[in-house]
Amino acid sequence: MGEEGTGGTVHLLCLAASSGVPLFCRSSRGGAPARQQLPFSVIGSLNGVHMFGQNLEVQLSSARTENTTVVLLVGLEELTNIRNVERLKKDLRASYCLIDSFLGDSELIGDLTQCVDCVIPPEGSLLQEALSGFAEATGTAFVSLVVSGRVVAATEGWWRLGTPEAVLLPWLVGSLPPQTARDYPVYLPHGSPTVPHRLLTLTLLPSLELCLLCGPSPPLSQLYPQLLERCWQPLLDPLRACLPLGARALPSGFPLHTDILGLLLLHLELKRCLFTVEPLGDKEPSPEQRRRLLRNFYTLVTSTHFPPEPGPPEKTEDEVYQAQLPRACYLVLGTEEPGKGVRLVALQLGVRRLLLLLSPQSPSHGLRSLATHTLHALTPLL
């Protein structure tokens, strides 16, 4: 259950469905973790609402007041058949970093789009070749290179992971405190919800980590440090070039129009996306405001204009459409006068959807042309 109170405080509360025993409560205020906790009386009231609806075979999904929103979330069956509450509480602590990152002001967007946050490295083919060789040497098909929670490169096996695993695993790695190496048990919601896999992470450079999803083998000692150094030491310069990509997503020098303050490119078939609000340096509004604007605009256009799945293939002029789907839309916040407000434009062509946040200098009549040109420039990358 989550409660959003006044002053921007968000509480995520998990209760045992049968007994109402609190399993954990995580709080966030202004996008950062908060120590403020829900009073026990509020927890009891929330559980009472849940139990009352359950007895009437009614599922309560949300309740709203003027200043508060309460949301009830249904967990996995394993969390409803609890044999040892204290053991479960202890096990759930391993998820706190991930949960807190969802409550906070994350720089990622995969939680909203259900697409993997990616970046484009300058020497992608070289890193991909090294990654494939490392995967073969370790005997696992599931290997990726992750910078600040975004995938730089990955093996075919890793890309075949379904949703939400492909989104959650790099997000989890980006949410954990820095560590040289980890051997982390993970349950895959679809692939393996009852038997844990091992998520091995090896830090190559600060915020740049090598991730392996595997079974009982290989042992971590086999990978670190000998095999790691042999495979990756020769690629130190290409690896260093990946570090700025955490915020920028695109290689330095990639040609973007100077009016672009942020962009979100989605490949709806591959379930991958590029997201940045810092393409060309510091300008107003702030990165936090830009992320909020693009996230809200994505929600708007997905729910009202564009279908969630890839659009139909391109058709010839002599074919008749029974129903036309929109290809573009734009939103002006503030005023349409040049130099005031901000512009948001969305464009969908085939399996790609592009959302741009543009400076107030960008004229409204040129938004679609600018978006089309930008999408054509980005298409070879994703």
The CATH number that applies at residue 182 is 3.30.450.30
d(CA 50, CA 20): 9
pLDDT at 170: 94
Residues 36 and 48 in one domain: yes
Total structural domains in the chain? 3
Residues 266 and 360 in one domain: yes
d(CA 359, CA 277): 12
**Does 151 reside within a domain?**
yes
pLDDT at 33: 66
pTM, full prediction: 0.82
Residues 70 and 39 in one domain: yes
Residues 271 and 373 in one domain: yes
Q: Which of 221, 246, 271 finishes a domain?
A: 246
Mean pLDDT of the chain: 82
**Does 314 reside within a domain?**
no
pLDDT at 142: 95
d(CA 85, CA 93): 13
Q: Which of 246, 268, 292 finishes a domain?
A: 246
| 291 vs 322, higher pLDDT | 291
pLDDT at 210: 95
Residues 165 and 235 in one domain: yes
Residue 143, CB-side half-sphere exposure with 13 Å CA sphere? 20
Look at residue 232 and tell me whether its pLDDT is greater than 80: yes
Q: Which of 226, 246, 266 finishes a domain?
A: 246
**Does 236 reside within a domain?**
yes
Look at residue 63 and tell me whether its pLDDT is greater than 90: no
- What burial letters (b/e) apply to 19-52, b meaning 16+ CB within 10 Å? eebbbebbbbbeeeebeeebeeeebeebbeebee
Residues 233 and 176 in one domain: yes
Look at residue 314 and tell me whether its pLDDT is greater than 80: no
Place of tokens 């290809």: 327
User: φ, ψ for residue 347 (rounded to 5)?
Assistant: -140, 135
| Alpha helices in 161-244, H assignment, sequence order | 165-175, 220-222, 228-232, 236-240
Residues 114 and 131 in one domain: no
Residue 265 · residue 353 · CB < 8 Å = yes
First to last CA, the chain: 37
Residues 200 and 239 in one domain: yes
Beta strands in the chain (DSSP E): 2-4, 9-15, 22-29, 32-33, 62-64, 69-71, 116-118, 142-147, 150-154, 181-188, 192-205, 208-214, 260-267, 272-276, 328-333, 342-349, 352-358
| Alpha helices in 93-211, H assignment, sequence order | 96-103, 110-113, 124-138, 156-159, 165-175
Domain span including residue 144? 121-246
Partners of 29 in beta bridges? 9, 32
Look at residue 205 and tell me whether its pLDDT is greater than 60: yes
d(CA 180, CA 363): 49
**Does 158 reside within a domain?**
yes
Per-residue pLDDT band at 83 (split at 50, 70, 90): confident
Residue 279 · residue 119 · CB < 8 Å = no
Domain CATH for 253: 3.30.450
**Does 199 reside within a domain?**
yes
Residues 253 and 367 in one domain: yes
pLDDT at 36: 65
**Does 362 reside within a domain?**
yes
Residues 95 and 113 in one domain: no
pLDDT at 159: 95
Residues 194 and 54 in one domain: no
Q: What angle do CA 55, 60, 61 make, to 5 degrees?
A: 155
Residues 262 and 377 in one domain: yes
**Does 360 reside within a domain?**
yes
- pLDDT 10s digits, 109-159: 999 999 999 999 999 999 999 999 999 999 999 999 999 999 999 999 999
d(CA 8, CA 176): 24
**Does 261 reside within a domain?**
yes
Look at residue 322 and tell me whether its pLDDT is greater than 50: no
d(CA 196, CA 214): 10
